[in-house]
Every structure is written in structure tokens, then in C-alpha cells.
Amino acid sequence: MGRHPLSLVMVVLAIMLLPYGYTWKEYRIRRSIDLSAANPLISDTKLPTDLVPSGYSLHLHPVLDRSIFSGRVNITLLCAKATNQINLHAHHDLTVDELELEVVRIGEAEGGTKVPIRRVDRVPKKPLLVIYFHDALTAGAAYEVRLRFVGNIWENVEGIFEGKYKQQQSTGPSEPAGTESEGVTEPEEHSFIGTYFRPHHARRVFPCFDEPSYKVPFNVSIVRPRTHHVLFNTALERTVETGDGKHVIDVFKQTAPMSTFTFGFLVSDLQQVTPSLSDEKEDERLKPTIRVWARRDFQKNVADVQQRVKLALRKLQEYWGVPLPLEKLDVVALPGFSYVKPADNWGLIVFKESELMRGYYNLAQELVYQWLGSWITPHWWSDAHVNKAIAGFLSADTAIKIDGGDEFEGKYPMTILYSIYYEFSKRYPHSRITAMKQETTCSKTELVLRMLNYTLGEATFRRGLQRFIQHREYKTFYGEDVWEALTKQAHLDQRLCESVTVNDVVNSWITKDRIPMVRVVRSYANRTATVTQRLYLRERPHDVPEQDKMLWWIPLVVVRQDRLNFGNVSTIRWMKQVREVTLDELPGPDEFIIVNPEEIGPFPVNYDERNWNLLATFLQKEESRTMIPVYTRAKLLHDAWNLAYAGDLSFGTAFNMTLFMKYERNHLVWNPVFTLIDHIGRHIDMSAVHKKFEMYVRTLLTPLYEELVGNQQESEEMWKANLRSLAKNFLCRAGYKPCIEEAQRAFKKWMDSPDPDAGNPVANQFICPVFKWGTREEWEFGLQRVINFPESRVKSERTYLLKTLAGCPSQPFKIDRLLNIMVLEDNGNFTDNDISLIFKMLSGGSSGYSTLFNFLKNNWDAIKLRFKDRESLWDNMINSATGLFTTQEGYDMVSQLYVQHQGEFGTAEHIIEKSLKNIKEETKWSDENLPVIEQWLDHFLASNGVADQKFLG
């Protein structure tokens, strides 16, 4: 599910690839409700409101050994408006017995009066079943629709899914569970069937009103094998015999009113995790009763889950001020569960096993969804981002209150914040991944909630959310309802003036796929500051339409050097969707101010040069540096570098803000530094400044790395291991000799092995340094391993090797050799996908794309002939070979190629034209910034007396 940090290698790769160092899946604590407003099947099939359901009576018979299910459902309806048809959601995979279908009018006679049906239609390309009548149904009358149906059970498909797992055979009655018994050989295979109905997959299982706003009770019975049991939304009421000796029918207590997507059951033979005696005593007092289920072999891994659920539940009940109205809550660790998100049904939550191993965030999140999602439900999918954002914020808040949020390693909320900064500062946000828009909208809303929690005050914010859920039990809500409740509470507590609403504040943030940048220019003589806001853009050119019209409600929280108090987060002034405000009574000319400390609001802040330099000087003194909290130190660094990259701040000032890093050892402050160094390094790596920049990086990182290595311990915090690995990775890329030599020693073992194609004994971290700094022989050895890669080995190992062969070398002859083999010689060992991958990897650095450009220029006719009928490869090559240059020299090279072969580019004509436009922008950036960067680096290197004996290059 990606809720915890990735493996170290993946973290390193992610940091190399994204300017902010965080992929959406890395560190990000993913949420488990996904009510997608973008899915056309949802919006296109909203049912008419002529008929309203009032209850379901549902019988299901899943057949484990045949992967099918059958059932019957009786849906009671109230006719709100006369109509001659009933519309129900029914997926096209579901077979409905139209001959057995009945509709009766309730109340006129015992058993009801049958209503004559004219015809039944399945709507093409839409999951709809429509029942037509000769005469209109009567407004105000009640009806019951009775249907029988059959469907298939699939693996990894929404609706009803099946799975299998293996575990050791059960021990005898005299042996405790988990004891290894003599004679136990092959593990037994066990099967299960479960449901995943979010957001609109109940229609795959039974005809229904599959919309969140219809909340009605369910009466449910489910057939199961005697060897299994059923967990359902509610507790078991009774079990009925079937007569075949193999199956029984479990009848469950009627549910409270609930939406179809919160319906869920699990048929399995998982065992209940035995609670401790103290837990059992507590169970008598705590409602709901918590039960944890897992396979026998996994029970020791989830032994503390019940206690953790109870603790999280108590914290959330305290927060909401009202207990969860459930009789029981089943928490399941399901082996082989393949969904990215848990199945969080009303009273039944199904997790991947790995998701229950540690921490409180995942548990708290699913518990929040019992309140917001099951008990109180978004009226329509378009309001789900508010629901999801509240769940994300409260889950993190709960985890932090319980154990300090150990599982986040301090990274919440910085990981989502930096991702938001990155995405919304593009010229075209979400232009490549439309699915990301929903995720970022939810994340931005979560950050706005965090901002409100600060600015309104935690007590007011909590009381506002409590006010929101009051009197909505088993009902639905709109997003606006949340903001209105917060507004009423803020007015009552006098935390917001009467003329202002939370709706005003929130809408200025969540209706735009953008964020603001605040600039603070102080008048030191008058002790005032002019504060302006405008759209934040990193990518060039800054030509976003109507950017001058974009304004936000921005809270201005100010910390001043003469009164350093980061505990006081009172807003001294709101920018009420105005371009400019003035701050008065600021400190003297030798004292700094910090606006938006601790990232209270999701926006970067720029200052005049004097204030930046006051901050840089303060941070370089050990006794004062620690007076500024970690998040704020990280923010100052992050903002300075990114504002410089965007062209809003001098790089000299931004580099000054890194001088304190030689004393800094907190990983949260270092995390943005690594990727910002990487991003700037890639941007300038064609220029003469790059060598000096690498020397700066070495000077910055060597003390950190050598200190981390010297203090390495067997049991240490994960963040230390990650920080050490990142420092080593960047030093290796910069040519740190101890790293290169270690990598070559490890690589030599592979080269000396009698059967090098049998497997790769070298850790991935060593391969790139060898291919970059190593010999021709070492690189050629890697190439032969790709060419001779055995079919029997895992293909991802070959892919990684191919990526490093192309993406790591700094010497053109290695890249040239690879291109000749793949493109000109058309070696049969390389597929078109391989070639596309290589082009993509070569675009990662100047040695790659400049070598590719020269290869294209020198072999134009042969390449054109080779790619004559492979337009995709041709387009990819032109894009990678021409699109990444950043200097006038690069522009001249690409321009000359364009003129020389004008009319010959075919499908790639628009690509090279776009490349020339982009290079012109990047050249302007280089002309403005490279001299400043070089001047600062010259002074830094001279004053530090940099020695290069430990480095190559």
C-alpha cells in the first residue's frame, strides 16, 4: 500500500528522480477510501430519484470451489413520484433471472399485489437494469422488487473476490498453536472469499441503488462451508442448517442504515487472535468489541493489534466526543490481499498483512472512516476529497498523539507538502498523470485543514468538527457542511470575525490547482514590511493565463528574532484575497523575522536579501541554530533554493542558506537538500561551473557521511541508515574515492565468478559507481551480462542493469558503444522497449543526451532508415536527444540540426520545435544564474581550502 518508507535503494532512486525527493508512494501515508469523482461510470449512471430504497433483504451463496455465487435480493422502495420504470444498478457481469423477477405493491394484500411488468432491459455500455411497467407506479405507495442473480467470483476484481494462502498443517490438540510438529511436510492450502465494494462495486454482486446517499438497513444471510466462518458488517444472529451436511446459512443482525459501498463480508477459516486476560476484562467495558483475525502462522505478528486498535479508538472517541455506535468491530489481516487500500466496511476492516505490522496511522485512518464514510457519508463522490482529507489529518494527529508518530520518522506533513509545492508550481499541473489530480486535491485539502487547526486553534477546530457530525448519524453530508460547522464554532469562540467564513478561506485554496508565494520586503527604518502574494511557479516560462487574478486567503504568522516563540502561532494578519498588506511594529534592522513558521500554511515565503542574510548568519551559530525548530530550518532551506530555481531569489543568497549544513545533522533538514542539489546539478552539468559545484557538494557531504559512518551502530534509527546511504550515494556520484574503490572490489567478485550469468552477487548500490567511474572492461562486462541474460532469471534484474549501463556513465565512448549495438547493428537481444528505455535514461544527464545528440547527427541517414516504420522510437529519440540542453551552445547545436534536416523530422517535427523553445528559456536561465553560481562557488571553495585527494574527476 506504500504507507511506509520504501527500501533504501528505492528511496535513493526516488530522490535522484524527483526534484523534491519524494514520490507519491514513498513515505506518503496513503488513505483507504477512494471515492473517485473522475470515474465516468459513476457520474454517467446516477439513478433518477422517482423511487427511493428503504431496505434490502439479501441472501448470498458464494461457492468457493467453483468461483461463482448466486443469490436473491428483495428491495423495498417508496415511490416518491409517479413513474413507469424502476432503474437499478447491475453490472454487465451479473446475470439477473428476468423470468423470476417480480415487483409487488406492499400493503394491499397479504404478500403484496404483483405489478405487471412490460419488459426488462439491460442498458448497453452502462451498468443499469431497467424494469418497465404498463401503468405508472403510484406516488406515496411502497413496492418490493424481488430478483435472483448469478455471478462469477474473480481474483483481484472489485465486488466479490477470492484468494488462497498456505500455512503449516494444524498441530494436535496437545500442542500449542505455532509448535512445529514432527511429520509436518507440505503446507495446507486454504481458500477465502471477500468483498471490495468501494466506491461503486456493490452492483457487481446484486442489483441495487449503488449510490452513497441511499442509506438503508440490510437483512443478510450468507451460505458458507462448515469448515469456514463468515465475518459481516454486523454480529451473527443464528445459524441454519441447509440439509446437505456440508454447508450452513449464517443469518446476521439487521444493519443500521448504510450505503451499499460499506457492505462487506469475508468467508474464511482465519482464526481469532486470542486476547490477553487484561484485554478480555477491558472488552467488557469497551464498545465496540474488538476482534482481530489472522492465519495461525501470522498471529504472533499481530498480537498487539487489538491493543493498538483500542488505544486509537479511545483517542478518536475523545476527539469526536461521541462513541462509535458499533456492537463489534472485526479487524482482519488477510494473506494475499492484493488491493492497494484496505476494505473498510461498516464494522469490518480487511487489511493486507503487512499493513498491520506497525504504527497507528493505518488503524486510525480506517477507524476514522467508520465515523466519516460509514456512519456519516459523503452525499456524492465529489465531496469525498473532504472526507478523505479529514481522515488523513485526524489519522496523523492521532498517531502523533499516541507515540509521536514514530512511523513517520518526522516526515509528516513535509512529504505531501513538498509534493504539492512541486506539482502546483508546474506550468501545467497534472498534465501527465490525471489520476494524480484527485490525490493532490485531497492532500491540499488536508494541508488546509492543518492550517485551520493552527489558525482557529486546536480546541475550536475540534469543537467545529464535533458540531459537524452532530445530528448526522446514519445520514449524508456535503463538503460545505464541514466548513459551515467550523465557521459557526469559530464565530462562537471569537476566533474569526463575523464577516469572514471558513468557506471563504477554504474555497480560495481548494478551487485552484495552484498555491501562492508570499514575498516579504521590509522597510528597516520604519520597522514595517510590505507583504505581497502571487502565483508560485518554478517552471519557466512563467506564462500561466490569468495568474494576476489568482488570490488566496493567507494567514500571516510571524516569529521575530527579539521574541523567539514558535509556540505562539496566532495569526497577526489575514491577507483576505488582496494583493498586498503592510505589517507594522517589526523588530530592528539587525533582527530577522520568519513568516509562516513550521509550514503552518502550504505556501513558500520569500524575503528581501537582508532578512535572508540575517537568517543565514543566525543558523551558522550552534547556540542559536537549535533555537529554530527542525521544520522551520527545513522550510527556510527549501524555500530559498526553490525560489532561486524559479528566478525569484539570487542563487548567492540561496547558497548562503546552505552554509549551516556543515553543522546540521537532522535528516528532515537534509532531505530536501539532497534532491535540490541533484536538481541544480543536473541543470548545470553541461557548463564549466559543474565541476566546481561537485566540489561544493563533496565539501558539504563528506563531514556528514564520515561522521555517520564513524558512529554507526548495529541497532540504530532507520533515518540514520537512510541518511548515511543518501550521503554515500551522492558522494559516489561526485567521485568519492573510498566509495568507488569499495564498489569496484564488490564488482570484481562478479567478474571473477565462474558463471557470471547465473546471478548478480553485487548489491545494486555498487553498480552505478562502477559504470560511471570504472574501466571500459568493467562496463563491457555489464553489457555482456545484458546480452547473455538467461531467460530463467528475473527480468527486472536485466532492466536495472540496462538502466545503469546507459544512465550512469559519464564517458561518451561507453554510451556510443551501447547505441551502436542497439540502433545501428540492430542487435536482436534488444527490443524496442529496451531502446526506448535507453533513450529515457540518456536524458538524465548531459553526458547522455549530448552523446545521443552527436550519435543522431553523425548517423542521421542510417537511423532514419532503421526507424522508418518505428515512429514511436524516432519520436522518443528526437525528444531525448534535443530537449534537454540548457545553454546557448546547446541551442546552436540543436538549431543547426533543425535547419540542416528541415522537413525530414516527420512525426517529430513538433518535438524539435518545442525543444528549441524550451532551450531558449533554459538558456536565459543559465545566462542569468550561472555567473552568480560560479562567483559564489569560487569564493566558497577558496575560503574552505578544498582538497580533492579523495575524489575522482
Where in the sequence numbering do the catalytic residues fall? Answer: 366
- The DSSP code sequence of 434-496 is TTHHHHHHHHHHHHHHHHHHHHH-HHHHHHHHHHHHTT-TT-EE-HHHHHHHHHHHHHHTTSS
**Three cell numbers, residue 895:** 538549431
| Gap between the Cα atoms of 735 and 731, Å rounded | 6
Phi-psi region of 414 (alpha: psi -120 to 50; beta: other; left: phi over 0): alpha
CB atoms within 10 A of CB 721: 13
Burial 251-267 (b: 16+ CB within 10 A, else e): ebbebbbbbbbbbbbbb
Q: On the CB side of 829, how many CA atoms lie within 13 Å of its CA?
A: 16
Q: Look at residues 757, 39, 114, 2 and name the one whose alpha carbon lies nearest to residue 340.
A: 2
C-beta of residue 929 within 8 angstroms of C-beta of residue 670: no
Q: Cite the beta strand spans of 760-820 per DSSP E.
A: none
- In Å, how far are 316, 442, 475, 500, 714 from 484, measured between CA atoms? 22, 19, 17, 11, 53
| Gap between the Cα atoms of 345 and 661, Å rounded | 48
**Three cell numbers, residue 625:** 541554530
C-beta of residue 416 within 8 angstroms of C-beta of residue 444: no
DSSP H helix total and E strand total for the chain = 29, 31
525 Cβ contact list (under 8 Å, min separation 6): 589
Strands 128-137 and 117-122, sheet pairing: antiparallel
Q: Cite the beta strand spans of 557-648 per DSSP E.
A: 558-560, 573-576, 580-583, 593-595, 605-607
Q: Look at residues 687, 730, 441, 676 and name the one whose alpha carbon lies nearest to residue 538.
A: 676
Bridge partners (DSSP) listed for residue 292? 331
Degrees (nearest 5) of the Cα angle 768, 772, 775?
A: 115
| Gap between the Cα atoms of 699 and 678, Å rounded | 15
CB atoms within 10 A of CB 187: 12
* Torsion angles phi and psi, residue 712, rounded to 5: -65, 135
| Gap between the Cα atoms of 593 and 600, Å rounded | 15
C-beta of residue 362 within 8 angstroms of C-beta of residue 354: no
Phi-psi region of 117 (alpha: psi -120 to 50; beta: other; left: phi over 0): beta
CB atoms within 10 A of CB 329: 22
Bridge partners (DSSP) listed for residue 102? 146
C-beta of residue 897 within 8 angstroms of C-beta of residue 891: no
Q: How far is CA 333 from the centre of its chain?
A: 22
Bridge partners (DSSP) listed for residue 190? 165
Length of the chain: 953
Q: Look at residues 9, 925, 15 and name the one whose alpha carbon lies nearest to residue 418.
A: 15
Cis peptide preceding 413, ω within 30 of 0: yes
Helix (H) or strand (E) holding 778, with range, is helix 776-787
| Gap between the Cα atoms of 289 and 171, Å rounded | 29
